[in-house]
Each structure stands twice: as C-alpha cells, then as structure tokens.
Chain A
Amino acid sequence: MHAGWGHVALAGAWGALVGLERRAFLQAMFSRPLVAATGMGLLLGQLQTGLYLGMVLELFYLGTASLGAALPENDTLAASGTTAAAAMMAAQTGGGGTPAIWSLSLILFAGLGLLGRAVDRRVEAYSATLSAHGLELAEHGELERAVRQNLWGIWPYAAVYFVLNVGCAALGMWIGTFLSQVPLVVLRGLAWAFPAMASVAAAIAARGSRARNAALWGLVGAATMTAATLVLAWVSE
C-alpha cells in the first residue's frame, strides 16, 4: 500500500474524532491509546503498527488521569499522532510496520503528549471566555444563546487535533522517503529498542496501577506469562 494525501486527511479526521471524545463529548474511552492507535492503524491499512503502538502507549499512560483541575499529558494525541506517523512511514517503505519503525516514531514523536497538554490549556482559556459570555447573556435574559455557548467549546478540539494529526501523518510520509537510506545497523538497534521501551512502559503501568502490592501482582502476571510461553514452546517442539 502506498501512502497518499487521502490517508493524511483520514488520519486528521480520526485524530479529531478521538481528540474531542477525550474531553468534550461522551468519554467512552475511544480516546484511550489502545483504541485510538488501533483505529488509526486500521484506517491507514497498518493494523499491526496501530496494535503494537497502542499496546505500548496504553501501558505507558495507564496511570495518568485528569484528577480535579489537574491536566495530564495528552495520551490521545500521543497515540493517534505517533501511530499516524508510523503507519505513513511503513506505507512509504511499501512493506508493513516493523519494530524499528515503531521505535523511530516513539522517539521522534515523544513530545506529543506535552504538546497536547499545552493545546488543552489554550482551549480551556478559550472556554473561559465562553463561560463569561454565557453569564453575560443569561443576565440579559438571552437564555437559549447562553446555554448554547457550551457547544462552542467543542469545535476547537476537533479543529486543533485534525491539524496536529494531519501534521504527524504528513511528517511520517516525508520521513518514510528516507528510511531506505538508514543503515542496517541503525535499524537493528531501533528494532531492539522497541521491546526495551515496552518493558519500561509495562513497569510504569504496574507502578501507575496504584495497586497494593503492585510489584507482587506484576511479578505474578509476568511469571504466569513466562510459564505459559515456556510450556507452549515445549509443546510445539
């Protein structure tokens, strides 16, 4: 599959949808990295890329939450933008996604979570003006218009996350044209970096679970999976 501008637009549309679902509407968790990245991968014809990036980013951001007025890093933009870029890189190479491409995307687009948080702050400041305007309208008895101010808070999320995801996808498409020139030794190093980053993400997740005896539970999970893998390997031999 070859990457095209249609795919870039599609990445923007999905990014906008999950971006506004995260905060402005519903919050049924379509915006979680596992869903946002898988959906992005599926739409761009790179499902495996979406799945593995979604899995790792879900673990990485497992413990983050918007508590009270605190604003955490934007896990949705991190997932949708990183996956859009990785999927476009993979498509440009003409093959499927590889751990080297996933690592490269995670490294290059690591700042998206922080960028998303900065954007969220700006949108909140805009929403404060809507609230003030709503109060003013209510005082003058224009109640319908006052309550409708709430809906004006939705469009900035859709617009900003559309643009940002389009940017990530376009950047991924551009970077993809250079991938064939990357030396094999660097690609091999990047391929090893992916499971290493995934291990760190899992450790962050176990810690972020806030479970009592989280280390013990994590160990039980890892031991069970190790035993199951070894038994399966032994049986298949």
Chain B
Amino acid sequence: MIGPGTHLSRSVELRVFLRSLLLQASWNPKGMQNLGLVYALYPALQVLYPDPEKRREAVQRHLTFFNTHPYVAAAIVGGVLYHEERIAAGEEDPRRVNEFKGALMGPLAALGDGFFWLSLRPAAGALCAALVPWLGAWAAVLFLVLYNVVHFTLRAQLFRMGLQLGDRLVEAVARAHLPSRGARLRAVAAASAGAAAAYLAFAFGAQQGGVGGWLLAGGCLALGALSYVLVARKVPTAVLTAMAALLAGCLGAWL
C-alpha cells in the first residue's frame, strides 16, 4: 500500500540510511545540513506522500535550518521517519516533527562531538600513531577498523532507535553512557601521545648514535615536556613547532 497510513519498507529505510551518509555534502552556513537531510528523507517522502502538493509541503518542512553531529543525525533521521509516518496517516500535526528536530539536534550534537570527535577519534588516532613503528601501514588499517566498528555500529543503532522509539530515543541514548566512556578514551589518547613522543625521541637518538644521539633523545623529551606547558599557556602551536625546529636544526648542524 502506498500513501497515508503506510509503513515504510525495509528497502526504503535502508535507502534513507545510505543517503544520510551524504548529509554534509552541501553543508552551508545558512541552512547547514538542511539540503542533506531532505536528500536523505526523499525516498521515504515519495512513498508517504503520493499527492505532489503534500509531498512539496513535506519537503519544505525539512528545508529549514538543521545542524547536528553527522553520525548521531542518524537518530534524528530515523525519528523523522517515525513522525512522518504518523503525519501522513493524519495521526499527528506536521509541526510535531520540526519540534522533535529542534529539541534534539543541539543535545545530540553535543553528545556526538564529545564522544566521537573529542574522545574516540583522538584515542584511536594517538594509539595507532604510537603503533606505527611496530605495525607499519597496518597501523592505519587498525585505526580505520577500531574507529569504524564503533562508528557504524552506533550509527546504525541510532537510526533504528529513532525509527522505533521516536521521541523516546532520548532515554535510550542516555543509557549508552557515552560521556563516561569518552573520559576513559581521552586518557588513552594522552598516554599514547606520551608513548609516541618517547619512541620518536629514542628511535631518532639511536639513529644518530653516540653522545649526539643521547643529546637528541633527551633534548626531544625535554622539548616535549616544555611544549606541553607552553601549549597550556596558549603559546601558538605554529610558533612552538617553528622554534623547536630551529633550535634542533641549529644544534644538529653545529654538532
């Protein structure tokens, strides 16, 4: 059955999910992800609204400002389908779906930024960067696997939650305890960065050999510690890097 009162088929849901991977294709300062959202939803709106006028209204409903974290947006996209099914069946006021989007995009963006951008990615990145000397190119592969197993699993789960729970997805997302997991991941990132610094100092020191090698290794470790303090005092990172390069370069040339 097509039109009001219908439930979307699995293939339409899958198409919407896959098209949501292009959510940011036309990210812009005015509507932000508005065009990407409508692009993702369109296959579902075509099924739910066979009447061209109703479909036009539905498309325009979602061309308003929309911005959230691109991964957790899957939950909102799923939730929008949940509401649109009910709107098409005449069970809900069309304003309800925009209220749903407006209420969730901010908090979910904060959650996604905190967990994915500021915890999982730095942890996986620093850990795999520190493993480069042992794993070589496989460190990059390991990074992609570690990151994307979590990323795609959560993205698919969030979409399903939105689709099945609608507004109640907030409670389900809260039960995932993402902020506390993020804190542990950030500690992994810091420890891995320290390990990478030590490895690089010793590896390049050993390559140099002799007294110069020990000087280089010790100097790099001291430079790392000093840089940490200076970064904390808001010294620009470009200035720090340039100064370090100049200092080490002069020493290397002189010795």
Q: Which residues between 194 and 252 of chain B lie within 8 Å of chain A, taking CB atoms?
A: 194-205, 207-208, 216, 219-221, 223-228, 231-232, 237-238, 240-242, 244-252
Q: Could you list 13 further interchain pairs (A-B, Cβ under 8 angstroms) beyond the known A29-B143, A62-B122, A103-B245?
A: A24-B22, A26-B21, A54-B129, A143-B52, A154-B22, A189-B248, A192-B251, A195-B248, A199-B201, A203-B193, A206-B194, A225-B195, A225-B199
The digit string for B125-165, where 1 denotes a CB below 8 A from any CB of A, is 11011101000110110011001100110000000000000
Taking residues whose C-beta sits less than 8 angstroms from the other chain, chain B's interface range is 35 or more
Contact yes or no, B132 A51, CB < 8 A: yes
Taking residues whose C-beta sits less than 8 angstroms from the other chain, chain A's interface range is 35 or more
CB distance from B89 to the nearest CB of A (A): 21
Known interface pairs A59-B193, A60-B237, A211-B189; A221-B198 also in contact (CB < 8 Å): yes
Cβ of B60 under 8 Å from chain A:
yes
List, sorted by A's number, 26 A–B pairs whose CB atoms are closer than 8 Å: A24-B22, A24-B25, A28-B151, A29-B143, A32-B121, A34-B125, A34-B128, A42-B137, A47-B137, A50-B137, A58-B128, A58-B129, A65-B121, A68-B67, A154-B25, A200-B224, A202-B193, A202-B197, A202-B200, A202-B224, A203-B227, A203-B228, A211-B187, A218-B194, A218-B228, A222-B198
Q: Which residues between 5 and 38 of chain A lie within 8 Å of chain B, taking CB atoms?
A: 23-30, 32, 34-35, 38
Known interface pairs A193-B252, A220-B191; A198-B220 also in contact (CB < 8 Å): yes
The digit string for A200-228, where 1 denotes a CB below 8 A from any CB of B, is 11111111111111110111111111100
Closest to B119 in A: A210
Cβ of A177 under 8 Å from chain B:
no
Report Cα–Cα, A198/B152, bound state, in Å.
32
Contacts of A235 in B (CB 8 A): none
Known interface pairs A26-B21, A29-B143, A225-B195; A192-B248 also in contact (CB < 8 Å): yes
Question: Majority SS of interface residues in chain A?
Answer: helix
The digit string for A112-139, where 1 denotes a CB below 8 A from any CB of B, is 0000000000001101101110110011
Report Cα–Cα, A61/B32, bound state, in Å.
24
The residues of A with any CB-CB pair to B shorter than 8 Å are: 23-30, 32, 34-35, 38-39, 42, 47, 50-52, 54-55, 58-60, 62-63, 65-69, 99, 103, 106-107, 110, 124-125, 127-128, 130-132, 134-135, 138-139, 141, 143, 146-154, 185-186, 188-215, 217-226, 229
Known interface pairs A206-B194, A222-B195; A151-B187 also in contact (CB < 8 Å): no
CB distance from B94 to the nearest CB of A (A): 15
Q: Which residues between 14 and 37 of chain B lie within 8 Å of chain A, taking CB atoms?
A: 21-22, 24-32, 34-36
Question: Majority SS of interface residues in chain B?
Answer: helix
Contact yes or no, B56 A143, CB < 8 A: yes
Contact yes or no, A30 B144, CB < 8 A: yes
